[in-house]
Amino acid sequence: MINKIKKTIASANINFLIGSGLSHPFLEILSGIESRLTAETDSTKIKEIKKEYFEKSISKNSELIKTLSNDGEAVLNHYKEFYKLVNQVVLKRESTLLSKQVNIFTTNIDLFSEIALENTGIEFNDGFHGRFKPKYDVGNFKKSYYKTSLHYENTSEIPVFNILKLHGSVSWKSKENSILLDRDLKILNETKKDFKNFDKLMIVNPTKKKFEDTILNQTYYDLLRIYTNELEKENSVLFVLGFSFADEHIRDLTLRVANTNPTLKIYILSYEQSKTKEYQKLEDAKNKNVEIILPKDESHYDFEGVLELFNFLLNDPEPEENNE
């Protein structure tokens, strides 16, 4: 399996789809919240479910720009290690024809990726442009970064991670039909004081009726279009980490591209040894290009399991061929 993935990475455009499983246990995973909210008709109970979602899975993001608890520090260190490993994998590729851009598609609305990349000094693009009043635009993605030697003027492309947040972010705010950067998480902190501010958060609500904001609606579909376009490219690979495919829209789009692009390879790292129904639906892709990687024995593909796999990709030597 390691050698198969190595060969795929060596000649592929690299994409990741990251879910809430990687930010656990600092942020709780509320499985079934979408179905609960969709089925509920009582406004008081809907508010209670949303408040539970906010308190368990959103509010602690304010700690990420302050002092982290032990759980938060551990998760952040995992993210930092992950991005350093992937950065090294990209640097070790021999091909000079392949772009060194890595796409991180995520439904997580937390700030772990941005903070981890900034702390490690790895170049990343979060869609914002501007120094004093950064404004978000999907057109800001797909920029390559180059470094020139001071003495010999040799120019080389360096890896850059595109962070595409499909469900919005706690650091986004809406103003005059634009998405601006909320550096201090002002809206999040206002919501902690008064929950009526919840609807001001620029996040996709976990319900079948996902949107209340036109800008967020348009941005969501623009980002999904980028997602499908990247997977439709020849020789692309998608690694799915900590993501259950409970989002039917993303699951259906992924299956559709898997069916139409035989050069696409998808590796899903399953948390448990059993395959979920959602994973099995993807595994049935007609091109047989979706592979579900199950953990061994009693282990799990939590963040530590993911790091172990990518350490193997970076350091495990190729087995010598037996010519006898």
Tell me, what's the pLDDT at 324? 42
Residue 127 lies in a domain: yes
Q: What is the pLDDT of residue 150?
A: 60
Q: Is 88 part of any domain? A: yes
pLDDT of res. 323: 47
Quote the CA–CA distance of 108 and 116 in Å, as a whole number: 14
Asked if the structure places residue 324 within a domain, the reply is no
Q: Residue 152's pLDDT is what?
A: 62
In this structure, is residue 321 part of a structural domain? no
- Assign residue 259 the CATH number of its domain: 3.40.50.1220
pLDDT of residue 209: 61
Write down the pLDDT at residue 47.
92
User: Do 105 and 227 contact (CB within 8 A), yes or no?
Assistant: yes
**202 domain residue, yes or no:** yes
pLDDT of the residue at 78: 97
- Extract long-range pairs of 26-30: CB within 8 Å, 24+ residues apart: 26/60, 26/69, 26/71, 26/72, 26/74, 26/75, 27/56, 27/57, 27/58, 27/60, 27/61, 27/110, 28/56, 28/57, 29/57, 30/56, 30/57, 30/206
Give the structural domain span for 213: 2-315
- Residue 157 included in any domain: yes
Give the DSSP letter string of 249-317. Answer: HHHHHHHHHHHH-TT-EEEEE-SSSSPPHHHHHHHT-TT--EEEEPPPTT---SHHHHHHHHHHHHHPP
Task: Provide the number of structural domains found in the chain.
Answer: 1
- Whole-prediction pTM: 0.93
> pLDDT tens digits for the chain (324 residues)?
889 999 999 999 999 999 999 999 999 988 788 788 888 889 999 999 999 999 999 999 999 998 888 899 999 999 999 999 999 999 988 777 888 999 999 999 999 999 999 999 999 999 999 988 999 999 999 777 777 666 666 677 889 999 999 999 999 999 988 999 999 999 999 999 999 999 999 998 876 566 666 889 899 999 999 999 999 999 999 999 999 998 889 999 999 999 999 999 999 999 988 888 999 999 999 999 999 999 887 788 899 999 999 998 888 655 444 444
- Give dist(CA 303, CA 79) in Å, integer: 8
CB 64 within 8 A of CB 74: no
Q: What is the pLDDT of residue 318?
A: 56
Across the chain, how many H-helices and E-strands are there? 10, 13
Q: Write down the pLDDT at residue 137.
A: 94
Report H helices in 162-213: 186-193
User: Does residue 322 fall inside a structural domain?
Assistant: no
Strands (E), the chain: 13-18, 101-106, 124-125, 128-129, 135-136, 145-148, 155-158, 160-165, 172-175, 178-181, 236-241, 265-269, 290-293
**61 vs 55: CA distance, rounded Å:** 10
- What is the structure's pLDDT at 131? 87
> Is position 191 within any domain?
yes
pLDDT value of position 211: 64
